[in-house]
Amino acid sequence: MGNLRIGPLAEGALRRTLLLPKATIPIWTNKNSSKEELLRKCSDELYEWQRDNLPRESSFVLHDGPPYANGNLHLGHALNKILKDIVGRFQVLSGRRLSYIPGWDCHGLPIEIRALQSHTESPREMAHKSNVKAAQTAAERGKTMDAAEIRSLARELAEKTIVKQMAEFRSWGVMGDWGNYWKTMDKDYEISQLRVFKEMLKGGLIYRRFKPVFWSPSSGTALAEAELEYNEKHPSKAAFVAFPIRATATTGLGKRLDGTGLRAAIWTTTPWTIPANKAIAVNMGMEYCVVDTENHGNLLVASQRAGELCKAINEQPKIVVDGIMGQDLAGAQYSHPLLPEDAPPHPILPADFVTADSGTGLVHCAPGHGMDDYLLCRKHGIQPFSPVDSNGRFTEDALPGHGIEGLEVLFGGTKKILHILTESKALLALQPGFTHKYPYDWRTKRPIIVRATAQWFADVGAIKGASIDSLENVEFVPPAGRSRLTSYVNGRSEWCISRQRAWGTPIPALYDVDTNEPLLTEESVEHIIGILQDKGTDAWWGDGVPEEVWVPEPIRVTGKRYVRGKETMDVWFDSGTSWTTLRNCVGQREGRPLADLCLEGSDQHRGWFQSSLLTWVASAAGLHAAKAPFGMVVTHGFCLDEKGKKMSKSLGNVTAPADVIQPKGKGIGGIDALRLWVASCDYTRDVSIGNTILGGVNGNLRKLRVTLRFLLGNLEDWDGKEANYSDLPKTDRYALAQLYQVNRATAQVYKNLHFNRVVQLVMAYTITDLSAFYLDVIKDTMYSDPKDSQRRRGTQTVIYYILRNYLSMLTPIVPLLTQEVWSHATSFVTKGAAGPTQLGWYEPAEAWNDENLLEEFKHINAIHSLVKLGIEKAKAEQGVKVNLEVSAVLIAPEGSRARRFLGEYAGELPHIFIVSEVLLGKEIPASPTWQYVEKTTLLGDDCTVVVQRAPGNKCPRCWVYAAEKPGEICDRCQNTITSLPKEDYESLFA
């Protein structure tokens, strides 16, 4: 039987004989597909399976820095949770048992304010108020409400928020122990927290002191440094004020100032603190002088600041006494300008914090309103004085008789003080337009004050050294995190842990009814913990337990009466003790930290990382371990828009996770798009997002899906019988060598947590090694060769290896896509897989790592580039449409290395070059039509590449120009068709 001609055969019939890919997975994500089922398999079922089947002794503990149970999730949450999930999934693929128990931070002012707001205002009212105004209004209303009612409202809000946030976290494919999540408002959690507090008390680290703290009048509570934000352009009425120096000069001044009426000039940006002045500070090594002024008399000022002072009071400087050193002034006394003449004098004290950078070189000290002032005065036995109440208003102790009681210190109080200073002629000059950096309450956006109150503190100074030492073996990503965390710890001596709010874990202190002295001992705390463990912490604010029951029996019998304190712990103390949740989930971890990894935003160096470290080291367990509670600390940046600007509703540049998952207009979207964006970011810096960036992400996701679909489609008819590596042609082995390289490189960057580098490696491999080479080269074999041919079976084996490795590399990042691929794979592809998905990192065989083959293909690719150059010229000048219209002749000297090398690849070169024929010649052949000649060297030998028209005719089945006559099929296709089963062969002629 001669070769079949196209005449009797319809092209459709011929097409049916081709073994084209038959993937069941759709080319686009079907939004109506069983996404929930796929999510469950690759998340919940996978987590459960690995928890039950992977070895406990090799567990990987990922500790969750708790998100705040307040409001909607944003891209920062997505960045954080998905980064954690990528880490966890790779650990599972690596054979480690993942322990990831999600948690929530539930206490604190923001939740309290939001609960009050939603309770007292309708949604319509809330919609017409700015967030700042609403927060301010709610904070004011909360000051008059019953504590038990506030706690009930806050708890309800937190519970609802957690349900909503958890559902969204899980919809992003974040796997974890969601059935066992913890909340800082859980009774068991609060009891564990109180026991840590008791351990710190036992160690002498908890004390109460009357000293300055950051205080928010708008919220009515003390604030931590981490709860502040700074307004760079806060307006203050800066003032120069004169304080009369007493006539009795110090010994060091001798008679130089005798008979000189002298006043010390100070400068302050907080004139409202003048009533609380207790001292003036000078620098011992600074030079001072006396300036004679026409309107204000003799003024004492630092010599370097005399010009600025005179400029402020609009006078020419007239120095009458100079060369006065600060050490000469130390010990002198002065009178408070607003107190009666018979009031006790105040001292001038030496202080290192006084500089000549601004002001007058003499610093007004109010130890009740500044930490430097407090520490200086405490050293000299001067007690802090703070005549300001919790609402930021002057009390009756502030300048009695001047009518300032009840005025807000930052507003009407400042105005009144300046008026009194003017009347008393103590005001030298005013700078009403002065702007500077000033702390604000991060929630209400209102300025705070520094105010001395009686607060509970943790002695950080006592454990500072041990805390820093414990970080020695902690790995930080990025490395700068070590110095950041160390500097924050090193810069603290104490931690104000008390808050004047109802919503939180109570500080278990009792107060003497008669003296207001606190009772806080190990025995009293343990007694209170026992009651709270039975009744819950809400009982601390209710009437269900009589007051006397809270008092331990040995104290009660003394007849002393006590009442409960109404202070709660700082929320950083709450979340900082979350390491207590790890005690029962870490397994056999001898010599290892509680958590292998903590991953949060870079702002947590001063927040959760620090509070976790301090509470751990301060506890008995931490002191005994002498190491940090975490083995690795990873931080990520913040989310910005495409122009690098902070996202803001007012700017209209906010992108929400839902905008990525369900994009408007063009775009693939989906959960994997959100996850691929996260993985593509250099998270160690601030990350950007926008239409252009998402366009690139969606393009990559589309490319991955198409590639996976092609791989899967070419395995639909595979019987699972793997070809021997030694039987594979060099092209297939080269593909495996490339696969080995990308697999090892990807595994390493996963271990180093460089996920953006993973994406770069996988995409480069996909585009260059697969799409532009191997998957293009194998199409002819896969489509046109007989189904059971050795070459096709070998190629399918390689495709199988590529698919399995490909899924390993992609699963941590786009698990929904890989799970969908897995669900469409045949049983021969999924053979041997454990668990609900392709669990386990697919290890390439060492035999694939053929360095010689990789080197050889560098030469093959160099020749290929010249063939492609000739083809491009033919397309441009000869009307050639496709590569298969072309043949190539490679010419190298007989017996040369180049000739032998090309001979080894001769049978594979037509497939590699995707041309109809490649011949080895001795000289440039004569061409009846056209040819393009390129000269090069190969392995040191001269080589010529000739590109010319293929000599045969186009086969209508495989399109290779190898048929003898027009319209006939080539010999290979002839053999393929005639080997078909009889019924299939006869159907071609039906």
Query: Given this model, what pLDDT does residue 123 score?
Result: 52
The strand pair at 953-954 and 961-963 is best described as antiparallel
Helix segments in 752-813, DSSP class H: 755-764, 775-777, 779-784, 790-810
Averaged pLDDT, 630-650: 88
Query: Given this model, what pLDDT does residue 3 score?
Result: 64
Query: Given this model, what pLDDT does residue 834 score?
Result: 62
Query: Given this model, what pLDDT does residue 252 score?
Result: 47
Tell me 45's DSSP state: I
Per residue in 385-403, pLDDT tens? Answer: 999 998 999 999 999 889 9
Query: Given this model, what pLDDT does residue 830 score?
Result: 87
Averaged pLDDT, 63-82: 93
The strand pair at 60-63 and 597-601 is best described as parallel
Rg (CA), the chain: 39
* Whether pLDDT at 961 is above 60: yes
Per residue in 145-203, pLDDT tens? Answer: 888 999 999 999 999 999 999 999 999 999 999 999 999 999 999 999 999 999 999 99
* Whether pLDDT at 1 is above 50: no
Per residue in 356-369, pLDDT tens? Answer: 888 999 999 999 99
* Whether pLDDT at 711 is above 90: yes
Confidence of residue 765 (pLDDT cuts 50, 70, 90): very high
Query: Given this model, what pLDDT does residue 131 score?
Result: 57
Query: Given this model, what pLDDT does residue 723 score?
Result: 94
Per residue in 516-559, pLDDT tens? Answer: 999 999 999 999 999 999 999 999 998 889 999 999 999 988 88
Strand residues in 164-286 grouped as ranges (E): 182-183, 206-216, 221-223, 228-244, 262-268, 279-282
Query: Given this model, what pLDDT does residue 26 score?
Result: 84
Which one is predicted more confidently, 981 or 173? Answer: 173
* Whether pLDDT at 787 is above 90: no
Q: Read off φ and ψ for residue 439, nearest 5 degrees.
A: -75, 140
Per residue in 538-548, pLDDT tens? Answer: 999 988 899 99
**Neighbouring residues of 941: CB distance < 8 A, sequence distance ≥ 6:** 892, 893, 896, 897, 898, 899
Averaged pLDDT, 632-649: 88
Mean pLDDT for the chain overall: 89
CA distance 883 to 131: 64
* Whether pLDDT at 651 is above 80: no
Look up tokens 């002749």; give the residue.
889
The least confident of 410-419, 582-591, 841-850 is: 582-591
* Whether pLDDT at 108 is above 60: yes
For the chain, report the end-to-end CA distance as a whole number of angstroms: 18
Query: Given this model, what pLDDT does residue 122 score?
Result: 53
Which one is predicted more confidently, 79 or 627? Answer: 79
Query: Given this model, what pLDDT does residue 587 score?
Result: 46
CA distance 73 to 82: 13
**What is the torsional sign of CA 129, 134, 140, 141?**
positive
* Whether pLDDT at 835 is above 80: no
CA distance 1 to 20: 27
The least confident of 193-197, 619-623, 865-869, 903-907 is: 619-623
Alpha carbon of residue 327 to chain centroid: 51
CA distance 375 to 494: 13
Look up tokens 């041990």; give the residue.
466
Which one is predicted more confidently, 6 or 50? Answer: 50
Global pTM?
Answer: 0.88
Query: Given this model, what pLDDT does residue 375 score?
Result: 92
Query: Given this model, what pLDDT does residue 143 score?
Result: 61
Coil, strand or helix at 600: strand
Coil, strand or helix at 121: coil
* Whether pLDDT at 755 is above 90: yes
Per residue in 325-375, pLDDT tens? Answer: 999 898 899 999 999 888 999 999 999 999 988 899 999 999 999 999 999
Structural contact between residues 795 and 781, judged by C-beta atoms closer than 8 angstroms: yes
Which residues are paired to 954 by β-bridges?
961
Cβ burial of 550 (10 Å; 0-12, 13-18, 19+) is: buried
Residue type at position 617 = V
Query: Given this model, what pLDDT does residue 666 score?
Result: 60
Query: Given this model, what pLDDT does residue 140 score?
Result: 62
The least confident of 3-17, 456-470, 693-707 is: 3-17
Per residue in 232-280, pLDDT tens? Answer: 889 888 999 999 998 765 544 545 565 567 899 999 999 999 999 999 9
